[in-house]
Amino acid sequence: MVNMQNKKCIVAGGGKVALRKVKALIAEGANITVISPVLCPELEELEQAGAIAAVRKKAAESDCKDAFFVVTATNDDKANQRLANRLKHRMLVNNASSADNGNCHIPASLQRGRLILSVSTMGASPILARKIKDEWAQEYPDGLEDYFDFLFNAREMIKRANLNSVDKKGLLEEITDNKYKQSPQLRDDFYKLLQNF
């Protein structure tokens, strides 16, 4: 849950694992440079589209100067470990080949507007983390952004309302009922009700 917007991020590696990490960072608005002698075709496409920068060489400690976050995701586990060991005392580092060797993890995440669900097995099973994320996607399908905006706006109105704390808590619990998730009309009715307080 770190704000990665415009943060300088280095991804060491140009293969499929690096691509997964890059996609997660792009979704968060990071400023990404991939460092690798060779890039997979998808990373080349992202470079050509201007979504990432790329430097075609082996990553070195000096390449990570001033980085906020570094991912070591080359196809050489020992190189990943060496680079992570040199950097993790002064910046956030995720070692894709050994979760314990870095100092942070990139969880599998699902976002629906204001709702963000993240799961990590701390390196035990990224496959299981993705399965859990897929289960969440079934429970919280696309299209719920308006509902989560409603929860935010209604909560702000309830906090300002001239009500005692017990009544406020009751209303805050009320808006989490599934009927509001499913009915825009009920959400509008609730807004009108709140205008009376």
The pLDDT score that the predictor gives to residue 7 is 96
Question: In the predicted model, what is the mean pLDDT of residues 19-24?
Answer: 93
| pLDDT higher than 80, residue 99 | no
CB 8 within 8 A of CB 71: no
| Rounded-to-integer distance, Cα 190 and Cα 147, Å | 12
Query: What was the pLDDT predicted at 122?
Result: 79
Q: CA 172 to CA 49: how far, in whole Å?
A: 44
For residue 82, the one-letter residue type is R
Quickly tell me which residue has 């399965």 as its tokens.
131
Q: Are 65 and 44 spatial neighbours (Cβ–Cβ below 8 Å)? A: no
CA distance 169 to 132: 31
Band (pLDDT 50/70/90 cuts) for residue 143 is confident
Which band of pLDDT confidence, cut at 50, 70 and 90, is reported for residue 43? very high
Asked whether residue 63 carries a pLDDT value surpassing 90, the answer given is: yes
Ranges of H-type helices in the chain? 16-27, 41-48, 77-87, 126-139, 145-160, 165-174, 178-182, 184-194
Reported pTM:
0.75
Q: Is a pLDDT exceeding 80 seen at residue 1? A: no
| Tokens coding 87 | 């950097």
pLDDT recorded at residue 5? 94
DSSP 162: S
pLDDT bracket for residue 100 (50, 70, 90) = confident
Q: How many whole angstroms separate alpha carbon 167 and alpha carbon 43? A: 53
Structure-model confidence comparison of residues 144 and 165, the more confident one: 165
Reported as a single tens digit per residue, the pLDDT across 102-137 is 898 888 888 888 898 999 887 788 889 989 999 999
Q: Please state at what angle helix 165-174 crosses helix 145-160, rounded to 10 degrees.
A: 170
Report the alpha-carbon distance of residue 184 to residue 168 in Å, rounded. Answer: 22
Position 187 scores a pLDDT of 95
Q: Please give the Cα distance from 6 to 146 (Å, whole number).
A: 26
